């Protein structure tokens, strides 16, 4: 495994065989807990129930569904709750419609991968890049937290020194 943290990846793919291939590839790329959904509605219900939250979302663009309204991957992206706005989303599609790619990226999709002979290699690179970005964000947050702790300790030390100086009767 390349990374230490275990990432929760939501995979929305209606093609069972293709989903299994993606899962095998993802598990060999990054330490992950992959939760697969057959359609976007299923994933949105899962998120709404607060059963778990993803670090990364992979969405097939064209999704078959038994639901009344069949959502595309882009529809699912549009309907993600605001608390997931920082979660990177990758659309995966067999479509070569470049206007779809452009529209998706303009809306904030992290990347758009075409289903072809390079899909798994490209997906591996994108996942590793996302995992590294997430790790760096976590490191930065830890550094900021440590910095705040140091600032508090320094502030307490200064106040203590001033109090001691005052108690000893020195004017500063």
Determine the pLDDT at residue 67. 62
Decide: residue 15, CB within 10 A, 0-12 exposed, 13-18 middle, 19+ buried: middle
Mean pLDDT of 132-159: 81
- pLDDT above 70 (res 12): yes
pLDDT digits (tens, 9 = 90+) for 43-89: 999 999 888 889 999 999 888 766 666 788 888 999 998 888 889 99
The pair of three-digit structure tokens given for residue 137, joined into one six-digit string: 């964000």
Determine the pLDDT at residue 2. 44
Determine the pLDDT at residue 1. 40
Q: Which residues pair with 13 in a beta bridge?
A: none
Q: Which domains does the chain have, with CATH numbers?
A: 7-138 (3.40.50.2300)
Determine the pLDDT at residue 10. 96
Q: How far is Cα 100 from Cα 79, in angstroms, rounded to an integer?
A: 17
Q: How far is Cα 59 from Cα 40, in angstroms, rounded to an integer?
A: 8
- DSSP states of 19-35 as a string? HHHHHHHHHHHS-EEEE
pTM comes to 0.75
Specify the range with the lowest mean pLDDT, choosing from 89-93, 115-119, 158-162: 158-162
User: What would you report as the CA-atom Rg of the chain, rounded to the nearest whole angstrom?
Assistant: 23
Of 47, 35, 38, 34, residue with least CA distance to 79: 47
Mean pLDDT of 100-125: 88
């Amino acid at each position: 495994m390349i990374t230490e943290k275990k990432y929760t990846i939501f995979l929305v793919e209606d093609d069972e065989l293709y989903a299994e291939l993606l899962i095998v590839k993802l598990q060999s790329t990054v330490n992950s807990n992959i939760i697969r959904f057959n359609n976007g509605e299923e994933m949105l219900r899962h998120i709404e129930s607060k059963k778990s939250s993803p670090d990364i979302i992979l969405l097939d663009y064209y999704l078959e569904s038994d639901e009344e309204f069949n959502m595309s991957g882009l529809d699912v992206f549009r309907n993600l709750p605001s608390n997931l706005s920082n979660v990177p989303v990758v659309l995966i599609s067999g479509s070569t419609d470049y206007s779809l790619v452009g529209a998706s990226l303009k809306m904030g999709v992290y990347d758009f991968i075409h289903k072809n002979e390079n899909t798994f290699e490209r997906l591996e690179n994108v996942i590793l890049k996302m995992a590294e970005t997430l790790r760096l964000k976590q490191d930065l947050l830890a550094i900021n937290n440590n910095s705040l702790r140091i600032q508090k300790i320094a502030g307490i030390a200064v106040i203590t020194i001033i109090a001691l100086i005052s108690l000893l009767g020195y004017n500063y």
